[in-house]
Amino acid sequence: MAEINTGGGGGHDGGKVRSKKQSTRVDMTPMVDLGFLLITFFILATTLSKPSSMTLNVPDKTKQEETEPIKASNVMTVFLGKDNKAHYIFGKAANEEPEVKTVGYGYEFRQAIQENARKVGGDKFVVVIKPTKESTYKNMVDVLDEMAITKTKRYALVDQLTPDEKTLLKDKVKIDA
Amino acid sequence: MTAMTDVAFLLLTFFILTAQFRAQDAASIETPSSISGIKVPDKNIMTIGLGKDGKVYFGIDNQQERMEMLENVAAAKGITFSPNEKKEFALMSNFGMPIAQLKQYLNLSKEQQAKIKQPGIPTDSTGAGANNELKDWVFNSRKANNDLRIALKGDNLAKFPEFKNVLATLQAQNINKFNLITGTEAPPAGWKAD
């Protein structure tokens, strides 16, 4: 196959019979085959790309810090619902019957964030992320990632829903939170 | 031919030298991806896995510390492990067994271990309950090595309440900063880090 035979092949030297010269070349095909087999194995068995990580800081539960109250109209509350859908409202769920908007994750969600951040004005804009029981870990990571992409500085991950929010979600988007 | 062989063996040498084998994991976890570019450290890391069925797995990177951690936990729970069992435990990069079943599991052969579906480490929603074993593992691993950083590796399909339990366990021990392990994804066009 890949053998290169350069020995012999003469015979134009006037009829003299010479002993045929033995080729000194070694057939390397099996060795190369084995080499590539090993390469393939090592490529597949190694982890070349190390996973990355995002940092998550949560507030200290043991310390009670007094923070400045935030104006409710600057707060966008995002509920992570089922079937990879997010629902968001502006202001409080309590008495003002806010409009619940539903978006998918990714581009739609990013646009909603950017639009609202512009409306409220960069520094005052606060996002509260409230995952419901129906949401998955991926949904949460996606939303946190969107915060990094849209460079939203003020956001909080809150795992408790108020009773008002629960009724709101039940009435408007049929989620039993 | 010779040139190709040379290149092939050069590549082979490179891959052999740079190889880092994938550790055998207790469960396959498919992580979500993010644009974050922070690499997960190799050393001094504690990994808490969250499988798609909500099972919790735990592991630390150093074998010596694994043994130390096991001894601490065993002493607290009143269980003794033989040197062989400890050695066996030190070889597991992560595990998801309740402590009561751990001894039995360690005495099984490799093939039998592979067959068993690990039930996951018990957690609870308050993070400090008597049955919460994750808190013991976290506490004792930090006792064995105080520099441990905490990485959470959750599956795409893991439900939020289970993640909340893990979060509560960590928060109950006043651990408020950790890393979420994610895959890498390209940021949208034109995006620049601050």
Query: Which chain A residues in 138-177 lie under 8 Å from chain B, judged by CB atoms?
Result: 138-142, 144-145, 148-149, 151, 159
- Give the nearest partner residue to B171 out of A31, A61, A139, using CB atoms: A61
pLDDT, position A177: 64
Higher pLDDT, A60 or B3: B3
pLDDT, position B132: 84
pLDDT, position A3: 55
The burial of A115, by beta-carbon neighbours within 10 Å (0-12 exposed, 13-18 middle, 19 or more buried), is given as exposed
Q: Is the dihedral of CA B7, B12, B18, B23 positive or negative?
A: positive
Question: Across the interface, do A55 and B177 touch by the CB < 8 Å criterion?
Answer: yes
If you average pLDDT over residues B142-151, what whole number do you get?
Answer: 85
Taking one residue from A and the other from B, the number of pairs with CB-CB distance under 8 angstroms is 152
Q: How far is CA B190 from the centre of its chain?
A: 35
Shortest alpha-carbon distance between residue B168 and chain A (Å): 10
What are the DSSP calls for B10-31, one per residue?
A: HHHHHHHHH--BPPPPSS----
Shortest alpha-carbon distance between residue A147 and chain B (Å): 11
Shortest alpha-carbon distance between residue A98 and chain B (Å): 25
Q: Could you tell me which chain A residue has the CA closest to the CA of B12?
A: A39
Range list of β-strands (E), chain A: 52-57, 75-80, 85-90, 101-104, 126-131, 155-157
Nearest residue to A150 (alpha-carbon basis) of B187, B185, B39? B187
Question: Across the interface, do A136 and B159 touch by the CB < 8 Å criterion?
Answer: yes
pLDDT, position B116: 81
Question: Across the interface, do B21 and A36 touch by the CB < 8 Å criterion?
Answer: no
Q: Could you tell me which chain A residue has the CA closest to the CA of B163?
A: A137
Q: Could you tell me which chain A residue has the CA closest to the CA of B164?
A: A159
Shortest alpha-carbon distance between residue B159 and chain A (Å): 4
Question: Across the interface, do B50 and A133 touch by the CB < 8 Å criterion?
Answer: no
Contact A131, B160 (CB under 8 A): yes
ipTM at complex level: 0.79
pLDDT, position A11: 47
- Fold category of A73-173 in CATH: Nucleotidyltransferase; domain 5 (3.30.420)
Q: What is the pTM of this model?
A: 0.76
Question: Across the interface, do B32 and A141 touch by the CB < 8 Å criterion?
Answer: yes
Q: How far is CA B108 from the centre of its chain?
A: 21
Cβ neighbors of B76 (< 8 A, separation 6 or more) are B136, B140
Cα separation of A82 and A20, whole Å? 82
Residues in chain B: 194
Residues of chain A with pLDDT under 50: 8-11
pLDDT, position A12: 53
Question: Across the interface, do B156 and A136 touch by the CB < 8 Å criterion?
Answer: yes
In chain B, pLDDT over 70 holds for what percent of residues?
Answer: 97
**C-alpha separations of A165 from A71, A113, A123, B54, B189 in Å:** 18, 20, 25, 26, 36
Shortest alpha-carbon distance between residue B114 and chain A (Å): 19
pLDDT for residue B167 is more than 70: yes
- Residues of chain A contacting B20 with CB distance shorter than 8 Å: 46-47
B54-99, pLDDT tens digit by residue? Answer: 888 888 888 888 888 888 888 888 888 888 888 888 888 888 888 8
Question: Across the interface, do B40 and A135 touch by the CB < 8 Å criterion?
Answer: no
- Give the nearest partner residue to A39 out of B12, B20, B180, using CB atoms: B12
pLDDT, position A45: 74
| A17 Rama class: left (phi>0) / alpha (psi -120 to 50) / beta | beta
- Residues of chain B contacting A62 with CB distance shorter than 8 Å: 174
- Residues of chain A contacting B8 with CB distance shorter than 8 Å: 32, 35-36, 39
Domain ranges for chain A, please list them.
Answer: 73-173
